[in-house]
Amino acid sequence: GARTEARNAMVSPRLAGASLEYPMPLPSLRPANLQPAAEAVEVGRLILKAAEWSPQSHELFPEPARKRAVEVMRLGYLIAWDEARFDSREGAAPELADVWRG
């Protein structure tokens, strides 16, 4: 009747006509259907992991960027442990080296 038609008009077309007595089957959610979503999640994790350089994300960067990070890290350590530069602090400024630990 009119009530059923009004109720069906309020639901999405795919579900129109479905009821507890005559449910419509849901689309199959097999692992093959979930594979694209799983891949998207993995890509998102990789992007977040590589967002900033750290020792843990080092291998995710291109070789020139990795070489540059190593050069700058070595300079940071040399400056941090230059005894002549930091004689008032017993020759070390470990906080400069801590920057590279990530």
pLDDT (tens digit per residue) in 1-45:
666 666 555 555 555 555 666 666 666 556 667 777 888 888 888
Q: How far is CA 85 from CA 18, 51, 81, in A?
A: 79, 33, 8
Spacing of C-alpha 35 from chain mean position = 18
End-to-end C-alpha distance for the chain, whole angstroms = 68
Amino acid at residue number 13: P
Indicate whether 72 belongs to any domain: yes
φ/ψ of 91, rounded to 5, equals 80, 15
Alpha helices for the chain (secondary structure H)? 2-10, 31-49, 63-80, 94-98
pLDDT single digits (tens) 43-65 = 888 888 767 777 788 888 889 98
Q: Which residues constitute the domain of residue 86?
A: 53-102
- pTM, whole model, 2 decimals? 0.41
- Number of structural domains in the chain: 1
d(CA 24, CA 5): 17
Mean pLDDT of the chain: 71
Indicate whether 66 belongs to any domain: yes
Indicate whether 7 belongs to any domain: no
